[in-house]
Amino acid sequence: MTLTDVIKLLGGVALFLFGMTLMGDSLKKVAGSKLELFLYKLTGNTVKGILLGTGVTAVIQSSSATSAMVVGFVNSGMMKVKQAIGIIMGAIIGTSITGWVISLSYIGNGSKGIFELLSTSSLASMVGVIGILLIMTSKKRKYRNIGEILMGFAVLMVGMEQMSGSVSGLRNDPNFLALFTSFNNPLLGILAGAGFTAIIQSASAAVGIIQALSTTGVISLSMSIPILIGIAIGASVPVIISSIGANAAAKKSALSYLIVDVLGGTIVSVLFYGGYMIFKFSFAAMILNPVSLALVNTIIRVIMVVCLAPFIGFLEKIVNFFVKENNEDDAELAEVKKLEERFLAYPPLAIENVSNAVNAMASKMLNILFESIDMIGAYDDNKFEEISKMEEIIDEYEDKINFYLTKLSKRSLSGYQSRTVGRYLRSISDIERISDHALNIAQCAGKIKEDNIEFTDQSKKELNILLSAIKEVSTHTVDSFTANSVELSYEVEPLEEVIDRICDHMKESHIERLQKGECNIKSGYIYNDLLTNFERVSDHCSNIAISTIGLYQKELDAHTYEIEVAKEDKFKEYVKKYTEMYKI
């Protein structure tokens, strides 16, 4: 093999890997990255999990990517280890589909007439022309993605042809023949396959390169089996790497990939070599071509999964033995812990997890706001401690969600996804500020008890009306936000307007009482602090409602929205309704 052949081989490998990556990424885009949501939501039993794992891996062309995604699901608490093992088994089968795609490039080689159109060069040329036309002329992203799939396939086939051409002379090379003859030793074959796959980080690519080498006519069935088993085992390396820093459950899922491949490989080896010792299979010496090698690869993986699928419970016990649980999870941070960085590559899944985390944050905010309001006149130290602790948790939610959304915003997002991310970025700040005001209100309640402050009967009456309105507007806000309800959101701004009027009236009434000597300065400070906090709460509620409306309509800042919406008849009707409801 000359230096030129080596350079051509390396160039062919580079083109092949690039084509496979481009094709896989584009397939994922065309399938819609909702594929990950589909995978997560529809894994009810073992058979379904295996089928889904197979299907998703066939689409995204990578068992490692599917399994790493599953590790993320388990790490975030969205999936159990037992479910993950089923999907990983499916991924082990699904990754063999790539071998069949690659083998298409060999079907027409050497044919004449119309079948010559199926040769590697002809097929790559036709697919490449169609692909580049779609990329250059299509206005829709969907068709450009299809064009990228075709271009990826064309580059992959050119790479395969170049690899095959560069190694064609090896069929008469005694050193090459000696190397592959050594792989008749199963242990050497498995180690070689595993090591090679661990280095290039792709079982599909490893099989593709072996398919290219099979064109030399020196790879027999007995040589291929240990190499293919080793490739399956080596594919677990990137998955195990992806679990570094994850929790115990995620590590168990990653380890299960290795255990399934090792046990499955052992079963296949025992069946083949045990049978060979007894029956002396004549077909063991059969020389494989790229198509038959793809078939053998699929059969090996199917046998592995079929034999081990009934024992998923036992496999779970094995990983439980090797990886011990840790009980560090905090239930209050359960939703925010699902914000896995692994999911940033899959925006729909990342956004759904963010939605759950923000909704949980909003629910916690509403709880401490109501508890703070209820403590006015009935202060309790234990409740204050709970409110303080929960306010700190809400702060942590904001920090982690904000950090996650900032990273997500740098990804390739659709228009709706970008608006959703922007909405959450704005809303978490308002939610956090409401929790700050809730803590301020609780502190005011403590001050009222500590200083034995008494409000006048009229002050209490007006304050009770305001508290009811605040509970109404905050409930409306959280309900409309979590349900993405524009209709409910439209009611928030009119009620906020009524609350502003109530607060203005209460401040004027309070000044009159101070002038008449009915209230003292000390009670006046606390009363004014309460009103200020309630006003701010309603303002932040208005901002959150506007962010929900802006998700489906044109983006509006709060000031512009207030001016425009105040002109609408619906707004005036709601103002009238809430003015009557909370009449002072």
How does 27-45 read in b/e, with b if 16+ C-beta sit within 10 Å?
bbbebebebbebbbeebee
**CB distance 97 to 58 below 8 Å:** yes
Token code pair at residue 64: 């490692």
Separation of alpha carbons 509 and 499, rounded Å? 15
Residue with tokens 């009620």: 495
Q: What is the pLDDT of residue 268?
A: 93
Separation of alpha carbons 374 and 218, rounded Å? 82
Separation of alpha carbons 105 and 483, rounded Å? 51
Separation of alpha carbons 290 and 285, rounded Å? 16
**CB distance 535 to 500 below 8 Å:** yes
Kindly state the DSSP code that residue 110 receives in the 8-state scheme. T
* 220 φ/ψ angles, rounded to the nearest 5 degrees: -95, 170
The per-residue pLDDT string of the chain (584 residues; one tens digit each, 9 = 90 and over) reads: 677 877 887 888 888 778 877 876 776 676 555 555 566 565 557 788 888 888 888 877 677 777 777 877 777 666 788 888 998 999 999 988 888 877 766 665 555 555 555 566 677 788 889 999 999 998 888 888 889 888 988 887 788 778 777 766 666 667 766 766 676 788 888 998 899 888 877 788 888 888 888 888 888 888 899 999 999 999 888 888 877 766 787 788 889 999 999 999 999 999 998 888 888 788 888 888 888 999 999 999 999 999 999 999 899 999 988 887 655 445 667 777 778 777 887 888 888 889 999 999 999 999 999 999 999 988 999 999 999 999 999 998 999 999 999 999 988 888 888 888 988 998 999 999 999 999 999 999 999 888 888 888 888 899 999 999 999 999 999 999 998 888 888 889 899 999 999 999 998 888 888 777 777 777 778 888 999 999 999 999 999 988 888 765 555 555 555 555 555 677 888 888 999 998 87
Token code pair at residue 486: 């524009």
Q: Mapped to the 3 state alphabet, what secondary structure does 447-475 carry? A: HHHHCCCCCCHHHHHHHHHHHHHHHHHHH
Cα distances from 351 to residues 94, 126, 335, 424, 548, in angstroms, run 27, 39, 13, 10, 15
Give 149's contacts (C-beta < 8 A, 6+ positions apart).
22, 23, 26, 27, 30, 131
**CB distance 87 to 49 below 8 Å:** yes
Summarize the chain as % helix, strand, coil (round to 5). 85, 0, 15
Amino acid code (one letter) for 5 = D
What is 427-449 written as a DSSP string?
HHHHHHHHHHHHHHHHHHHHHHH
Kindly state the DSSP code that residue 341 receives in the 8-state scheme. G
Token code pair at residue 129: 């022309």
What is 479-526 written as a DSSP string?
HHHHHT-HHHHTTHHHHHHHHHHHHHHHHHHHHHHHHHTSS-HHHHHH
Task: Compute CA 81 distance to the chain's CA centroid, rounded to the nearest angstrom.
Answer: 17
Which runs of E-coded beta strand occur in 239-278? none
